Amino acid sequence: MITLTHYLVLSAILFSIGLVGVMRRKNLLMLFFSTEILLNAVNVGFVAVGHYYGDLSGQMFAFFIIAVAASEIAVGLGLLILWYKKTGSTDLDTLNMMKG
Amino acid sequence: MEKYLYIALFAPIVGSLIAALFAQSPKNLFTGILTSGLIFVSFVSSMILLNYVDMDTIVHVEMMDWISAGNLSIPFGFVVDQVSVIMMVTVTLVSTIVHIYSIGYMEHDESFNRFFSWLSAFVFSMMILVMSDNFVGLFIGWEGVGLCSWGLIGFWYKKHSASWAANEAFIMNRIADLGMLMGLFLIYWNIGSLQYDIVFANIVNLDLDIVSWIGIFLFIGAMGKSAQFPLHTWLADAMEGPTPVSALIHAATMVTAGVYLVIRCGEIYALIPDVGMFIASLGAFVAVFAASMALVNRDLKRIIAYSTLSQLGYMFVAAGLGAYWIALFHLMTHAFFKSLLFLGAGNVMHAMDGELDIKKMGGLYKSMRPTAILMSIASVALAGIYPLAGFFSKDKILEVAFNDASYFLWGALFVGAGLTAFYSFRLVMLVFFGEKVHEKLGYHPHEAQPFVIYALTPLALLAIVAGFFEHSFHEFTTQLLADYEFTLDHSVALMLIFATSAIALSGIAFAVYNYKRGGFSEKIENWGVYKLLSNQYYIPKLYDVAIMKPFTALSRFAWLNIDNKIVDATVDMIARVIYGGGEKARKMQSGNLSSMLRWMVVGIVVLLALAIFYRPMV
């Protein structure tokens, strides 16, 4: 029997993986992947809790997050390509133009 | 009639505000004429009200609600009754003349416009003080008078002594105002209202102890404003201001306010004769005390200032013994001759290029005859010689003291009357007659402008004839004030009049005789008594040593140790912690995105921890 706890544990594990990815990875593309994992970990949690309470708003929210994530990726990838064309690198540490 | 009340009250402030617009610009004769005119308008309205007010017709208006909070409701109300209308007429009459006089006196002053603005504001404050129908309005006027006196005593603020004297007057008055405020609080706590009519109607129901405290506290306020001992030192130092200001302070506004307060609260003081006796005793003491200082002083204006102190003492004797109408009568007659004396002194001072030492004058009669005559009239009136105004009012006060069987008070006042006559004529003799010392010193005195002299004549006229209004004055004011019952025999009263006149005349005769022959020898200046008197009983020195020095030391200590080491140090430390923290936290802003992301994660963790472990109180 798969209970709510299982889903939440899965969600937490996914979230942790995403978090570690965000912190450790230096490649911008990998950062986007990590962000997607983070968002989807949260989605799993929403859907599971929404199902548990018999409330649709959790699942509604998951849809919103998917939509937001998609548009974020679209904008982010566009910027990433521009950056790559300009500098020939997708390393995070090269993005330091704002350093004072 | 309300129309005239508003005109009388607000005409001075209109003039003051208009003059204030020109305060920074060079002399403009227009401001002087405008303010004088408006004060005159106020005087005319007061006269109309004087004619109108009668037994049943008192003008009482409530302009608007002023303060209403909880149970406290104080309307902005004014009343013109027998007492306030007398004060209004006196104040505006003297003020009108002082204003006109000042046009001549301040002719060459660069702050001519500012002077008139303050002067009119002074009159306005005094009008609020006397016309208010409640204690709060009185207090506002009371403070306004204090403020304006500060601005006028320190009018020549570039002079150190002037600004010092202004501060002294202001601070001494604040000390006394604390007493006054306590009195008002007591009244409000026990009666629940500050309207005169309600307070006086309910005061009889109060415990006598409380009434005594109310009386004492209110009198402390009056002591400061009327410069009674021990708060008297500011009055003599206030001579630093321009002379018309001195005339105004001494005759119309400011010092008479204390006497007015005691008269107005007559119904309170009637219940507590012990406090009244204290007031009368203090008054008699000050009457002699101040007169003795006037005997030896060489400063023209200070002599007159001490004379005011002494005369205020007389008024307090009358008020303390319950003869309110007599106190008010002396207040009025005194206003006329004292302002005349001061304005005459101003003429002398101008003629002598600001010199005030009377030993350096002498023989000025030749060059300034009208002023000499006016000042002599004022001095005779002050000395209390029949038929001048001072005779009627001062003599009545002595009669009251005798009638009350307070022979000691009477004796003090009797001596005071002799001293008054002596010092007044010492001044007149030394300034106007005798040897012409000023010629040796190279002064070229000249008489003041004719319009200044003409402006003074109404005062001289009143100083002569005001006494004859005694009967109608008595009838008029006792419609409101409690009457004073004389139980003396007619023959005893005549004897008293005779005795008082005799001592006054002998004082004058002694002064005239003595100073005609060149005055006392220089030797008396080495006498202990002379030194004691000319140093004002060492009271200013005592205040300096006993109050000002320790206070300065305490302030220095508080500044160096408490303020610098505790307060400032705490504030500095807070600043240093924040600044140092910022310096350390700056390293976070490395511009490196991956370290920023890590910090972001730290932030999330902290927020999550907060959300989980922190439970707000429900």
Residue pLDDT, tens place only, B396-426: 888 888 888 778 888 888 888 888 988 888 8
Q: Which residues of B touch A96 (CB under 8 A)?
A: 591-593
Residue A99 lies in a domain: no
In DSSP terms, B57 is beta-bridged to none
CB-closest option in B592, B598, B601 to A93: B592
Whole-angstrom Cα distance, residue B261 to residue B142? Answer: 10
Residue with tokens 């005159």: B40
Residue of A17, A34, A94, A99 to mutate, testing the B interface (most B Cβ within 10 Å of its Cβ): A99
Distance from the Cα of A72 to chain B's closest Cα (Å) equals 17
Structural domain range at position A75: 4-89
If you average pLDDT over residues B543-554, what whole number do you get? 88
Smallest CA-to-CA distance from B19 within B94, B88, B103 is with: B103
B591 touches chain A (CB under 8 A): yes
Q: Are B125 and B10 in contact (CB under 8 A)?
A: no
In DSSP terms, B74 is beta-bridged to B67
At B580, the pLDDT band (50, 70, 90 cuts) reads: very high
Q: Which residues of B touch A22 (CB under 8 A)?
A: 597, 601
Give all strands (DSSP E) within B254-319, no chain letters. Answer: none
Count of structural domains within chain A: 1
Q: Which residues of B touch A19 (CB under 8 A)?
A: 601
State whether A95 and B593 contact (CB < 8 Å): yes
State whether B590 and A99 contact (CB < 8 Å): yes
CB proximity list for B95: less than 8 A, separation 6 or greater: B12, B39, B43, B119, B123, B248, B252, B253
Smallest CA-to-CA distance from B95 within B382, B347, B339 is with: B339
DSSP annotation of B193 reads -
Chain A to chain B Cβ contacts (< 8 Å): 23
- DSSP for B199-212, please give it: HHHHGGGS-HHHHH
Model-level pTM greater than 0.80?
A: no
Helices (H), chain A: 4-24, 28-53, 57-87
Give the per-residue pLDDT at B557.
Answer: 92
The pair phi, psi for residue B66, each rounded to 5°, is: -115, -65
Whole-angstrom Cα distance, residue B246 to residue B343? Answer: 9
Residue A100 lies in a domain: no
User: Model confidence over B314-357: pLDDT tens digits?
Assistant: 999 998 888 888 899 999 899 988 899 888 888 888 888 777 78
Per-chain mean pLDDT for chain B: 86
Q: Which 3 state secondary structure label does DSSP give B539? A: helix
Distance from the Cα of B592 to chain A's closest Cα (Å) equals 6
Whole-angstrom Cα distance, residue B471 to residue B474? Answer: 5
In DSSP terms, B617 is beta-bridged to none
Q: Do the interacting molecules here have an ipTM over 0.90?
A: no
* Structure-token pair, residue B72: 């406290």
Q: Are B283 and B320 in contact (CB under 8 A)?
A: yes
Residue A98 lies in a domain: no
Give the per-residue pLDDT at B431.
Answer: 84
* Structure-token pair, residue B150: 């500060």
Which one has a higher pLDDT value, B616 or B373? B373
CB-closest option in A19, A98, A100 to B601: A19
* Single-letter residue type at B236: A
Distance from the Cα of B585 to chain A's closest Cα (Å) equals 14
* Structure-token pair, residue B280: 């009368």
| CATH code of the domain containing A70 | 1.10.287.3510
* Single-letter residue type at B401: A
Q: What H or E segment, with its residue span, contains residue B263?
A: helix B255-264
Give the number of C-alpha atoms closer than 13 A to the C-alpha of residue B340, restricted to the C-beta side.
32
Give the per-residue pLDDT at B618.
Answer: 61
Whole-angstrom Cα distance, residue B209 to residue B214? Answer: 9
Which range among A63-77, B54-68, B107-121 shows the weakest confidence by mean pLDDT?
A: B54-68
Q: Which 3 state secondary structure label does DSSP give B357? A: strand
Q: Which residues of B touch A21 (CB under 8 A)?
A: none
Whole-angstrom Cα distance, residue B330 to residue A15? Answer: 97
If you average pLDDT over residues B282-305, what whole number do you get? 87
State whether A92 and B593 contact (CB < 8 Å): yes
Q: Are B33 and B103 in contact (CB under 8 A)?
A: yes
Give the per-residue pLDDT at A67.
Answer: 94
Distance from the Cα of A31 to chain B's closest Cα (Å) equals 10
By CA distance, what is B604's nearest residue in A? A19
* Single-letter residue type at B569: A
Smallest CA-to-CA distance from B127 within B139, B117, B141, B114 is with: B141
Domain definitions of chain B by residue range: 1-271, 541-613
User: Model confidence over B469-520: pLDDT tens digits?
Assistant: 888 888 888 888 888 878 777 888 888 888 888 888 888 888 888 877 766 7
User: Model confidence over B200-246: pLDDT tens digits?
Assistant: 888 888 888 888 999 999 999 988 888 888 888 888 888 888 888 88
Distance from the Cα of A15 to chain B's closest Cα (Å) equals 12
% of chain A beyond a pLDDT of 90:
55
Smallest CA-to-CA distance from B266 within B485, B50, B480 is with: B480
CB proximity list for B337: less than 8 A, separation 6 or greater: B377, B378, B381, B382, B388, B389, B390, B459, B463
B64 touches chain A (CB under 8 A): no
Distance from the Cα of A100 to chain B's closest Cα (Å) equals 7
Whole-angstrom Cα distance, residue B513 to residue B525? Answer: 20
The conformational region for residue B396 under phi > 0 = left, psi -120 to 50 = alpha, else beta, is alpha
Q: What's the Cα-to-Cα distance from B609 to each of B567, B613, B615, B618, rounded to whole Å? A: 37, 6, 11, 19
Residue A100 pLDDT > 60, yes or no? no
Residue B599 pLDDT > 90, yes or no? no
Residue A14 pLDDT > 90, yes or no? yes
Residue A54 lies in a domain: yes
